[in-house]
Structure 1
Amino acid sequence: MFETVQSDTFVLLSALILISGVFAAKFSNRIGLPSLVLFILVGMALGSDGLGIIPFDSPEFAQVVGIFALVIILFEGGLQTKFSTVRSVALPAVSLATFGVLITSAVVGFTAFLIFDITLLQAFLLGAIVGSTDAAAVFAALKERNIKAKMGATLEAESGTNDPMAVFLTISFIELIVVPETSLLGLVPSFFWQMGIGLLMGYGIGKLASLSINRINLESSGLYPIFSVAFALLTYGAASSIGASGFLAVYAAALVIGNTELTYRYSIFQFNEGFAWMSQILMFILLGLLVFPAELFQWEVIGGGLLLSVVLILVARPAAVFLTTMGMGYRWNEKLFISWAGLRGAVPIILATFPIVAGVEGSIFFFNVVFFIVLTSALVQGTSISWVAKKLDLTGPRKNTPHHSIELISMGKANAEMVQFNVDNDAAIAGKKLKDISFPQKANISAIVREEKLITPYGETEIRAGDFLYILVSTKHEKELKKVLEAKRYPFTSSGPAE
């Protein structure tokens, strides 16, 4: 009977957590506050040091849940990213994800050594933990904001690929502290193994997943999204089991899958978006449960955390951005924005549990300082991204949802799909009449939704920016249709989308 009551209570608490998370996300959009802050505050309120509803003090469990959630979030972010966008910012993103993290970690670490009574190795460990931007925070912050494409692409590509460097530095400094005879130079080859094999495994499993999703003929459409998530988890597990970067492998696999023509593409994308939101809610609330406000809001943590936050935001991050993107076609205002938008989130908090699990001296203090830095980053940087972008003249057109394919019947049983496309200001078809657009022969526009009104299309109908087009097309002509829809009035430059 006791076990049944406990199970019922767990189910009830799970429901309350998810409901509160959804309302927090809705509320955060209205006030411009990053949702992760509200999720964390909900966790702190429910935890042992708050209302005491959910007593929780297990960094090991939080670490496992956090890694699982990050896999789902990275996978969903990679699915939504176009290869053409990533290619245009590949060099600066990789530079920021490697040398940028190294510079940021070094500056923050040296500052920590000066202000705290800790060893140099402990200080650099603290710097390594907060050295990388966070994919969950960056994806969420940019998703609904009208930031110029080049800026969004750079930040998302960086946050999706910089975890290996942060993980490598964190684990390396833990080993140097716990096992003093460890050679730092001896750890360098493992970094290249993590990056190189992680990319190769991600690409290979991504190709395998795409082929499997299209070839398998499942009776229920609901199984296709589950199949895709299974490949995401397989990618992380397989890569991590041989010492490669599981996070990088997942992001690479998602890029491959997301840029392949898939059966039940719309269902897969919608499921993963919802699953990513659920993972984000549970992860940040759980991390909020892990922190004890009485320990967090101590003068040493507040004072040291604020000073490190100022150094991180105003010195370390700008230095990393300006140094690692030299000669890559970025203007000073773009570099300033990339510097400001380097949000910290779940990754630093999860990495802060590594020293606790390893038994490093002072690790609880490190965790609280890192947690404070993340909160500061989210509150200061996360709430002002749109304002800073506007001041630096880096806002673009209204954020549009990408087109999705809504399959009428699964591939193999029929060959028709309904494509939904949102016309943006840069689209070549904007301003043209339907009769003047060279659509494929077997593509018929079924409806146009303009300002929430349904318009019946005919030859003289003019396509306008903001329109939602619903086009019935045969599967074999879908690629041809997408070329027409995705054509831009302005070409891409070598350094990214033209301004």
Structure 2
Amino acid sequence: MDFLNQLIFIGAVLLFTSIVASSAASRFGVPLLLVFLALGMLAGEDGFGGVNFDNYATAYLISTIALAVILFDGGMRTSIKSFRVGLRPALSLATVGVLITAVVTGLFTSYILGLHWMQGLLLGAIVGSTDAAAVFSLLHSHGLQLKERVGATLEIESGINDPMAVFLTIILIEMISAGEVAPGWWLAGAFAWQMGLGALLGIAGGYLLLAIINRLTLALGMYPLLVLAGGLMVYGLTNVLGGSGYLAIYLTGLLLGNQPMHSRQNILRVHDGMAWLSQIVLFVLLGLLASPSAIVADAIPAISAALVLIFVARPLATLVCLAPFRMPWREMLFIAWTGLRGAVPIILAIFPLLAGLDGAQHYFNIAFFVVVASLTLQGWTLAPLSRLLRLQVPPKPAPVQRVELDIPVASGYELVTYHLKEVTPVVGKPLKQLRLPEGSRLVGVLRDSSFLQSDGEMRLAQNDGVYIVCHEHTLEQLNKLFAAEATPAQLDDRGFFGEFVLDGQATLSDVAMMYGLQIPAELQSRTLAEHLTGSMRNRPVVGDRVRLDKVQLVVREMDDGRVARVGISLHD
């Protein structure tokens, strides 16, 4: 009993410390996952805590469940619209890219360590995939609003590339254990079965779970638990039948997140906390499992593997996979650099230990070092590089809180809360001048801890809390009125999109007349939308730029895949 109480106390201390440390770390741009990993190492056998944890089977069980929860939440927060611009390049990176990364890293590592080439390929497969937990965490915790094509490619890739790495790792372990040196054509069939079954059960499970959620009447707190249990059921069943559970649970989350769902905001809010808890537990646990003294012994080959992976294998894989999609070089460079390694390589490095392969501990030590190097070098420089390459777009305004109104007579209505800032457009205006979207109603204004008796003459002020009942379809319009905040100069609307805004259907001849531009006669009948779409190498997204004589045309707003509004920038 004393041991159990001590275990609970130690676990609570680690969790509490991780959360508190994350607040301080975020101020200095430190990747939070690196903080969690470091806390686990400090609590381990070589750290101040002196906790001796070497139960790889338990670590694997907990880690796989945590990773499944992270993928599930990531799927629910990925917009299906982003698949229009990100699916094909992400799919290429998640399959061919993982294979190229594994082969290049593996062959180099086998040469450096004097290993058999298949053992080197095993190590390459272990570190070959980007990590969903790392990508989701670093992109969201830094508050990066990337161009849709870049952000969608990275998030979709990290969500679907784990199955490829798991497949390669398991196959190579089986071949090494059996003494085989030549892969057969059966591998293609096995891969197709895993991916196909994972996709089928993930989508089918998502539709079935959605129907159950929308038909049951439960206590509010039960819906997130129902969703989590359903997602894990899909994950477990898919694995039992020989499919890819990671792909299945990601697709289940994707389907749920993009369909009307009862208690949606409540589910997303709870699962956000579940995903953070999973990330903390996952990385602290893997930190506990590591032995820094043993890792230092493998430092030289580990550094070599990390450098080759980051500076050779990942960039080469990115170039080969994205070249057919004719992405701009800035975007390819950023995607190559954002090949973040996280929990998945460490989890996969446990496989050889569980299989009892010779030298398995070296695989684990090198994989762990590669993850630390990736989170440190790439994770720390992610935000500055995105600004340098001009891949950030102005953040979308949003309310500080959304509460879904579960009323039987109507669906889709919410109570949203805004905290007015100095730059918010409605500050200083009387209520009677507000033009709220149809179906929206202002229900209260909170000022200095008191609700005001609102009338048409009352003026909104900075720091007011504004409460509005609205339909989710009108939320974007309300955000533009009530949620504007101060942004860096380079992300200010005028600084980023340009000084003037035009409709996408305006013709180039009209633009030439207004701004004194020299435009070839054969182009003058084109609309701005047609010119931007024709000038892009791929589907336009917000933030794309095209030079037109002495001005720049900037995609400002998209509507159902079409360029709706265009900014005119008079500066480079």
- 1:243 maps to a residue whose letter is G
How many percent identity over aligned positions? 38
Scaled by the length of structure 1, what TM-score is found?
0.87
After TM superposition, list the pairs within 5 Å mapping 1:134-145 onto structure 2: 134-143=131-140, 144-145=142-143
Pairing partner for 2:146 from 145, 148, 153? 148
Paired residue for 1:418, among 414, 421, 436? 414
8 A contact 1:403–1:419 mirrored in 2? no
* 1:232 alignment counterpart: 231
Closer/same/farther in 2, CA of residues 226 and 303 from structure 1, 3 Å limit: same
Matches within 5 A, 1:185-264: 185-218=185-218, 220-264=219-263
The one-letter code sitting in structure 2 at the alignment partner of 1:497 is: V
**What letter matches 1:25 in structure 2?**
S
Q: Does the CA contact (< 8 Å) of 1:400 and 1:422 recur in 2? A: no
- Cα distance in 1 between the residues matched to 2:315 and 2:5: 50
Distance (Å, rounded) in 1 between the aligned partners of 2:456 and 2:167: 59
C-alpha distance in 1 between matches for 2:467 and 2:63: 38
Partner of 2:562: none
Instruction: Give the count of matched residue pairs.
Output: 480
Match status 1:481 vs 2:474:
yes
Hey, what's the Cα distance between the residues in 2 that align with 1:68 and 1:444? Answer: 43
Contact 2:147/2:542 (<8 A) preserved: no
TM-score of the superposition, structure 2-length normalised?
A: 0.77
Letter in 2 for 1:498: V
Instruction: For residues 293-338 of structure 1, give each alpha carbon's deviation from its aligned partner in whole angstroms, at most 9, with x where no partner exists.
Output: 110112xx21111111111111111111111012324100110000
Please point out which of 87, 96, 111 is paired with 1:114.
Answer: 111
Question: Is residue 286 of structure 2 the alignment partner of residue 287 of structure 1?
Answer: yes
CA contact (8 A) 1:224 1:264 kept: yes
Do the aligned partners of residues 129 and 497 (structure 1) sit closer, same or farther apart at CA in structure 2, a change above 3 Å counting? same
Give 1:147 deviation, angstroms: 3.7
Task: Give the Cα–Cα distance (whole angstroms) in 1 for the partners of residues 44 and 193 of structure 2.
Answer: 40
**Alpha-carbon distance in structure 1 between the residues aligned to 2:145 and 2:88:** 20
Answer whether contact 1:445 1:457 (CA < 8 A) is retained: no
**Structure 2: which amino acid aligns with 1:176?**
M
Q: Residues 199 and 248 of structure 1 are in contact (CA less than 8 Å); yes or no, is this contact kept in structure 2? A: yes
Q: Does 1:83 align with 2:76?
A: no
What's the CA shift for 1:360? 1.2
Query: Which ranges in structure 1 are unaligned for 5 or more consecutive residues?
Result: 424-428
Q: Following the alignment from structure 2 to structure 1, what is the Cα–Cα distance between the partners of residues 113 and 190?
A: 30
State the AA in 2 paired with 1:289: L
Give the counterpart of 2:393 among 379, 393, 396.
396
Deviation at 1:497, TM superposition (A): 2.1
Cα distance, 1:100–1:60 mapped onto 2, change above 3 Å: same
Q: Deviation at 1:149?
A: 3.2
Per-residue CA deviations over 1:246-301 (Å, capped at 9, x if unaligned) read 11111111111111122221211111111111111111111011111110112xx2
Deviations along 1:188-239, one digit per CA (max 9) or x if unpaired, are: 2111111122112111111112221121001x21111111111111111011
CA distance in structure 2 between the partners assigned to 1:460 and 1:125 by the alignment: 71
Counterpart of 2:26, as a letter, is: N
* Equivalent pair of 1:59/1:357 in contact (CA under 8 Å): yes
Query: 1:146-184 CA deviation, whole Å, 9 max, x = no partner?
Result: 242322221111100101110111111101101124844
Distance change in 2, residues 1:153/1:470 (3 Å):
farther
- Tell whether the 8 Å contact from 2:416 to 2:469 is kept in structure 1 after alignment: no
Residue 382 of structure 1: aligned partner: 379
Give 1:397 deviation, angstroms.
1.6
State the match for 1:426 in structure 2. Answer: none
In structure 1, the partner of 2:551 is none
Distance, in Å, in 1 between the alignment partners of 2:455 and 2:328 is: 44
Q: Deviations over 1:424-460 (max 9, x none)?
A: xxxxx999999796833x332446899x999999999
Given that 1:145 and 1:399 are in contact with CA atoms closer than 8 Å, whether structure 2 keeps it comes out as no
Alignment of 1:256-275 (within 5 A): 256-275=255-274
Residues 21 and 483 of structure 1: CA distance in aligned 2, closer, same or farther (over 3 Å): closer
Where 1:379 maps in the other structure, the secondary structure is helix
Higher RCO (Cα < 8 Å, 6 or more apart): 1
Residue 175 of structure 1 pairs with residue 174 of structure 2: yes
Following superposition of structure 1 onto structure 2, how do residues 266-415 of structure 1 map, counting pairs within 5 Å?
Answer: 266-298=265-297, 301-398=298-395, 405-408=402-405, 410-412=406-408
The verdict on how the C-alpha distance between 1:277 and 1:453 changes in structure 2, with shifts beyond 3 A counting, is farther
TM superposition shift of 1:415: 5.4
Q: Distance in 2 between matches of 1:232 and 1:50?
A: 37
Does residue 114 of structure 2 align to residue 70 of structure 1? no
Contact 1:138 1:155 (8 Å CA) reproduced: yes
Contact 2:436 2:478 in 1 (8 A): no
Deviation of the 1:53 alpha carbon: 3.8
Counterpart position of 2:5:
8
Give SS of 1:472's match.
strand
SS at match of 1:406: strand
- Distance across 2 between alignment mates of 1:87 and 1:430: 35
**2:98 aligns to what?**
101
Whether the 8 Å contact between 2:71 and 2:249 is mirrored in structure 1 is yes
Structure 2: unaligned runs, 5 residues or longer: 420-424, 481-500, 505-528, 544-572
What amino acid is the match of 2:345?
A: P
Q: CA deviation at 1:417?
A: 3.3
